[in-house]
Structure 1
Amino acid sequence: MGNSPSGFEYQVFKDGSVQILHHGKQAAILRGRRADDFLDDVSLDDGQLIMARLTGNYRRGNERAARSHPRNLKP
């Protein structure tokens, strides 16, 4: 395992919304309570995994098993 997500960054705007970027491209915008909760969580941790989970852009651990599934094998 050991593949921790990377390439995420975020920007906080004056209105309190948070824009999450992945490799420079917008991945999500958080507003209101979600933005506040995100900022609280990020202040305690690096935030890469948090941002990956919020955007849905993270490995789930089953990629290797899926590669050998019969429907994914080329005839």
Structure 2
Amino acid sequence: MGAPSGFEFVVRGDEVVIRHRGATATVLRGTRASEFLTQVEQGDAQLLMARITGNYRRGNERTARQHPRNAR
């Protein structure tokens, strides 16, 4: 699995707009926006934005579900 890419964010007043390849993926407001700005300074911004938008799954979910470690 490759590293996430193509994300960017823009701060507009008290909002944070996250875009993926030019299209708006999500808008964070209030507490979530301030937490995001704090976390983006501490870690990998691309991975964080991928997780927030839900664009981090890459097709191996079914295989992982069948793994003995994840068996229920």
TM-score, normalised to structure 2, is 0.78
Structure 1 unaligned regions, length at least 5: 67-75
Higher helix share: 2
Q: How many percent of aligned residue pairs carry the same amino acid?
A: 58
Q: SS where residue 57 of structure 1 aligns?
A: coil
Structure 2 unaligned regions, length at least 5: 65-72
- Kindly state the Cα deviation for residue 63 of structure 1 after the two structures are TM-superposed: 5.1
Q: Deviations over 1:39-71 (max 9, x none)?
A: 0000112310000000000125625838xxxxx
Higher strand share: 2
Moved over 4 A (4+): none
Paired residues, number: 64
Root-mean-square deviation (Å): 2.0
